[in-house]
Amino acid sequence: MFATLDDLLDRVHVVALPMRVRFRGITTRELAVIDGPAGWGEFGAFLEYDDDEAASWLAAGLEAAYRPPPAPRRTHIAINATVPAVPPAQVPEVLARFPGARTAKVKVAEPGQTLADDVARVEAVRASIPTVRVDANGGWTVPQAVAAARALTAAGPLEYLEQPCATVAELAQVRRQVAVPVAADESIRKAADPLAVVRAHAADVAVLKVAPLGGATALSQIAAQIAIPVVVSSALDSAVGIGSALAAAAALPRLDHACGLGTGGLFIEDVAEPAVPVDGALPVRAVTPDPARLAALAVPAERRRWWIERIRRCHAVLAARAR
């Protein structure tokens, strides 16, 4: 374990970050940040996650707060623009928050929307960004994914389809039937065995996220074993979590693709002033929250109690794993 529970709870700030657009079905992002002896960490497991899954997110936050970051191999990380499932007319406004980005990740397969909506959004992005990838979050069946791959590449290529279907077996089927590379996200970060997707020949690219995998150390270990290119992405992190993810990406020996670490632009307010991309890249640097922002963004007392109890339970899960 990185810390005793009492020490950890003394260092926790729980905040609610208002968002510019709905993302993952939410407009306010609740999370906790930890003022640790080695730096700041973040615990932001989504509210619907059970304690066993959320515990890995706490482990990541504790690692960042209580251990020094890994040694960097690069000082800047190229990032992709992230385009939520917005109408095409709103795309230029979203892209303006990612100056210099040459790659965009576009959300598709949004509940209540159609493939035609996805195509229109992708085409609006292509008008400004040369390299486009799409993320379905497992929202398609295999036939739907195959049809979508054809429709979305009718007017131009895609860098890859991210998590077109929910299961590893389905990803493998899609990969055999389409010419577009397939990337795996949930099939890695939510899997008991993160390497199963590679053994099944189900993906060409691995999307790795620090928090769900349990920290930068775990991410680097998986990257070393996975034998396919890696993209480091955020889990709708605050500036603190983005800082941890940038540090993890900076330490990898190989990084061929733009990373999904520009999501700070999705927040109206954050715990620290977000770094602005320069020529499509973010600097690798430690992030220290602004005390005034922490106070202004603090959740009501009942929500803080909810998060503190969750941290207690997740800390117990980590303690049990360590035995």
* Residue-wise pLDDT tens digits, 230-245: 999 998 999 999 999 9
Q: Is 256 annotated as a binding residue?
A: no
Backbone angles phi, psi at 153, to 5 degrees: -105, 5
CA angle (36 as vertex; 32, 38 as ends), nearest 5: 135
pLDDT tens digits for range 47-92: 999 999 999 999 999 999 999 999 999 999 999 999 999 999 999 9
**Tokens 């600097």, located at residue:** 283
- Asked whether residue 251 falls in the same domain as residue 196, the answer is yes
Check pLDDT > 90 for residue 22: no
Indicate the SS3 state at residue 35.
strand
Among residues 175, 189, 209, 310, the one annotated as catalytic is 209
Q: What is the CATH number of the domain that holds 231?
A: 3.20.20.120
- Asked whether residue 40 falls in the same domain as residue 117, the answer is no
Q: Is 118 annotated as a binding residue?
A: no
Over pLDDT 90: what percentage of the chain? 87
Tell me the mean pLDDT in the region 151-177: 97
Tell me whether strands 161-162 and 131-135 are parallel, antiparallel or unpaired.
parallel
Q: Looking at per-residue confidence, does 186 or 139 come out higher?
A: 139
d(CA 271, CA 296): 9
d(CA 264, CA 94): 12
- Asked whether residue 278 falls in the same domain as residue 156, the answer is yes
Contacts 24+ apart (CB under 8 A), 141-144: 141/165, 141/170, 142/170, 142/173, 142/174, 142/177, 144/109, 144/115
- Asked whether residue 201 falls in the same domain as residue 314, the answer is no
- Asked whether residue 80 falls in the same domain as residue 219, the answer is yes
Check pLDDT > 90 for residue 276: no
Q: How many CA atoms lie within 13 A of 288 on its CB side?
A: 4
Check pLDDT > 80 for residue 100: yes
pLDDT (0 to 100) of residue 323:
85
pLDDT (0 to 100) of residue 266:
85
pLDDT (0 to 100) of residue 32:
98
191, 197 Cβ separation under 8 angstroms: yes
pLDDT (0 to 100) of residue 203:
96
Is 190 marked active-site? no
- Asked whether residue 58 falls in the same domain as residue 90, the answer is no
Phi-psi label, residue 246: left if phi above 0, alpha if psi -120 to 50, beta otherwise: alpha
- Asked whether residue 115 falls in the same domain as residue 195, the answer is yes
Average pLDDT, the chain: 95
- Asked whether residue 138 falls in the same domain as residue 264, the answer is yes
The secondary structure of 139-188 as a DSSP string is -S-HHHHHHHHHHHTSSS--S-EES-SSSHHHHHHHHHH-SS-EEESHHH
- Asked whether residue 175 falls in the same domain as residue 114, the answer is yes
Structural domain span for residue 231: 76-283
Check pLDDT > 70 for residue 319: yes
Check pLDDT > 80 for residue 2: no
Tokens, residue 97: 């928050």
Check pLDDT > 90 for residue 190: no
pLDDT (0 to 100) of residue 192:
74
- Asked whether residue 99 falls in the same domain as residue 184, the answer is yes
Q: Is 162 annotated as a binding residue?
A: yes
Radius of gyration of the chain (CA): 19
Q: What DSSP element (H or E) covers 306?
A: helix 301-322
Check pLDDT > 70 for residue 117: yes
Domain count, the chain: 2
pLDDT tens digits for range 249-263: 999 999 999 999 998
Among residues 13, 97, 107, 310, the one annotated as catalytic is 107
d(CA 74, CA 232): 14
Is 107 marked active-site? yes
Q: How confident is the model at residue 1 (pLDDT cuts 50, 70, 90)?
A: low
pLDDT (0 to 100) of residue 24:
78
pLDDT (0 to 100) of residue 187:
87
Tokens, residue 273: 């002033």
Q: What is the CATH number of the domain that holds 23?
A: 3.30.390.10
39, 69 Cβ separation under 8 angstroms: yes
d(CA 164, CA 159): 13
Closest C-alpha to 168, from 181, 153, 183, 150: 183
Say which amino acid occupies 309.
E
- Asked whether residue 164 falls in the same domain as residue 276, the answer is yes
- Asked whether residue 90 falls in the same domain as residue 13, the answer is no
